Structure formats: C-alpha cells, structure tokens
Structure 1
Amino acid sequence: MKEMVLASRNKHKLEEIGDILKEFNINIKSLDEVGLGNLEVVEDGETFEENSMKKAVEVMSRINAVVIADDSGLEVDALDNRPGVYSARFAGENATDEDNNKKLIEMLEDEENRKARFVSVISVAFPDGRKFHVRGECVGEIGYEKRGKSGFGYDPLFIVDGYDKTFAELGSDIKNKISHRANALVKLREKLAELL
C-alpha cells in the first residue's frame, strides 16, 4: 500500500496524519487531490465512530483506495456528554466558534462539575472490506472564561488536566503532542503496524 486518502480538505489534518505515518512510506492524499473536493458526506450518526466510518466507507467506495476519516468533538460530563457529535453546530447550523463557546459558558453557568474531554475517532476503510477505528481522548475541564489566542473551536475554554492552561494558551506545539487527535494517531500507527 503506497497511498491513502484522507476524507478531508483540511491541510492541517493532512500534514498531521502524514507526519505520524511517515515511517510507513505512505503518500497521504486529500479529497481535492483525488477529484472529490466537492463531496459532502452527511454526518448523521449518533457517535463519532458512526460519522467517521461513514465518511471513510463512502469515500473508499468511490475511489477504491484505502481511506482515513476522522470525527471529533467535545463531551462535557454535566451536559450528558453534549455537545458531542454536534460540537461544530452546538449553537445552531451556521454557528461560529464564538457562538458555540458563548452557549457552552451559559449552559455551565451554575455548574460545579466542569469535567470534559475532547474525543477524536479515526476510521480506516480498505477496498477489500477490512475496516477499523481508533479513539483518542484528552481530559480536562471547561473554564469560566475564554483564555488564549491560538487554536480554534473550544480551545480557549478547555483547560487540560496536568496543565493550568487552555489549549489556546498552550499553543499548537504542545497541543499537537497531547491532544485527542495525537492520542488517536498513536493508536492508528500501532494498528497499521500490525496490518502492514
């Protein structure tokens, strides 16, 4: 296997996954590079596992190549693990990061339990029918106000266990070593080492 396709147009994800899998000498291509730049897979699953596998299988069925897809988001204990798969559209269909953060702060206003985790599920689908997924988590809690300038999404509110800083204060170098996606990518590398 010389190449894989990432079911994403996100250049940052492409670099991150490419970097982690470089030991396998695999060329990672984006949807744009395989002519599927306009493909929109409806993420209607109830779990990160369902959504990421749906993306992987749908893209794989169109191009007959090994496909990697991920789905990720934030789970907050006091909100019964919401926003979960709705993390990007927590405050509505066209919500901005600002809208989502504001809603989260409001919903947790009188809440003492602020435990939360970022989750990343990466699925892989092979043309021969094999498929698997791995799950990575990063545990922390939700702050009372936004702090920090780097990152995106809920990063300014998420205070990582073991650090007294939000993801947005830690910066991408540290975040990329300890994040939910970093943890999932380590498991992905281990699983691919078994299969390849």
Structure 2
Amino acid sequence: MHSLKAGEKLVLATHNAGKYRENAELLAPYGLEVLSAGDLGLPEPEETGDSFVANAVLKAKAACEATGLPAIADDSGLDVPALDGQPGIYTARWAGPGRDFMVAMERVHRELGDSPDRRGIFVCNLSVVWPDGQTASFEGRLEGTLVWPVRGDRGFGFDPMFQPKGFDITFGEMDPAKKHAMSHRALAFAQLSEALLEPA
C-alpha cells in the first residue's frame, strides 16, 4: 500500500467547509499540502453508492482523476437504529437542497416519535485513492443519544442533536478541539494515519 509523505499535495474531496476544516486540522501535523475540491472548482460527483465506503471511494476517485493527485474523501452520516439505519448515506439529503440541518434534525425527531430507542451512531468512512488506482478505506463509528430539543451552536450537521455516549453535553455544546479528538472522523482518521502517514 502507498503512504502519504510530508510535502506531498493531497486533495480533500469535499465541498463542505466544515468537513474540510476538520479533516485539514487532522492532517496538519503530517506536513501535507492539503487542497480542497471546492476551492479547486471541481464538480461534485453524484453519490450513487449504496454504502459510506462506496460513496467515499467514488468522491475520492473523481477528485484524483480530475487533478492527478492522491485524494481523500469522507462519507459520513447518522445511522439511527430505530429508523432502520436512516438517514445513513442520505444524511445530507435529509437536510434538503439548502442543506438546512435544522430541517433534518426535526425530521429525525418527528420520525422517532415516542420510540424509547434514542440511539444515534455517527459513521465516517475515509477513503484514499491514488492516481494508479490503488485505494484504502477506514471507518470510524461513534455511538450517542439523540436529544430534543437540540442544544448548542458549535460544529455542523447533526452535532447539536448528538450527545456522545458517556457525556452530558452534545457535540453542538462541546469545545471543537475536544470533539475533534473523539469524533467518528477522528476514529477513522486514527486508523488512516497509522496505516498511511508519518509525522512531519
């Protein structure tokens, strides 16, 4: 398997500023030159995969082919067991065309109704694709409770609704550095860094 070395250029295949910021911060200690698909004006590929890993590979492959550089894509979402795993890979779509996650959180709350099972699992798949076609994928999962009403205005997406297991505050109320250290993205990234990265 290839590795990623200090000084190399790498594309983060996302147009989501929150995801770009979190992933760029995680990559910072490794001395990589991190570019954003959004800043490069790359088109967003349609997410036609049937799993987090399929969509992550699809996005990374599109960015890699467009730039000739290794690319990392993150496909993540909220898996709600009481809703048969929804919204899952359709998490962003639940927020509607304006990507208004208040709409998405209200929908989850409404569809849960009076279900006693308020578990939510944040899932993040990080996939890397190199120009020669080699791929590597890593997945992190973090369980928590879905609270209502939502609390906090930090983070993005479902963060104000998600109270990680063992905590009494939501990601929306948590210091960003603390969230970054324990999130589903951090768990996936820990696997990726151990396999592919060397500190600068």
Could you state the TM-score of these two structures normalised by the residue count of structure 2? 0.87
Match of 2:34 among 25, 28, 33: 28
**Structure 2: 5+ residue stretches without partners:** none
1:128 pairs with one of 122, 127, 132? 132
Q: Distance in 2 between matches of 1:112 and 1:38?
A: 43
Equivalent-residue separation in structure 1 for 2:153 and 2:102 (angstroms): 13
1:154-193 aligned at under 5 Å gives the runs 154-193=158-197
Q: In 1, distance between residues paired with 2:166 and 2:108?
A: 22
CA distance in 2 between partners of 1:168 and 1:19 (Å)? 18
Question: Amino acid of the residue matched to residue 61 of structure 2?
Answer: V
CA distance in 2, matches of 1:94, 1:16: 21
Instruction: Say if 1:156 and 1:23 are closer, same or farther in 2 by CA, change over 3 A.
Output: closer
Q: Distance in 1 between matches of 2:81 and 2:114?
A: 14
Q: Which ranges of 4 or more aligned residues in structure 1 deviate by more than 6 Å?
A: none
Distance in 2 (CA, whole Å) between partners of 1:138 and 1:5 is: 26
Q: How many residues align?
A: 192
Where 1:69 maps in the other structure, the secondary structure is strand
CA distance in structure 2 between the aligned counterparts of 1:119 and 1:29, rounded to whole angstroms? 24
In structure 2, the CA distance between the partners of 1:41 and 1:90, relative to structure 1 (3 Å rule), is same
Change (3 A) 1:144 1:51: same
Q: Secondary structure at the match of 1:123?
A: strand
Mapped contact 1:142–1:159 kept (Cα < 8 A): yes
- For residue 99 of structure 1, the aligned residue among 98, 103, 113 is 103
- State the distance in 1 between where 2:139 and 2:174 align: 23
Asked if 2 retains the 8 angstrom alpha-carbon contact of 1:20 and 1:186, the reply is no
Identity, % of aligned pairs? 36
The alignment's C-alpha RMSD in Å is: 2.0
**Which letter does structure 1 place at the counterpart of 2:132?**
D
1:81 aligns to what SS in structure 2? coil
Amino acid of the residue matched to residue 31 of structure 2?
Answer: N
1:7 maps onto 2:4 in alignment: no
Does the 8 Å CA contact 1:120/1:136 hold for their aligned counterparts? yes
Structure 1: distance between partners of 2:193 and 2:160: 29
Higher relative contact order (CA 8 A, sep 6+): 2
Unaligned runs of 5+ in 1: none
Contact 1:3 / 1:26 at 8 angstroms: preserved in 2? yes
Q: Residues 18 and 155 of structure 2 are in contact (CA less than 8 Å); yes or no, is this contact kept in structure 1?
A: no
Q: In the alignment, what sits opposite 1:118?
A: 122
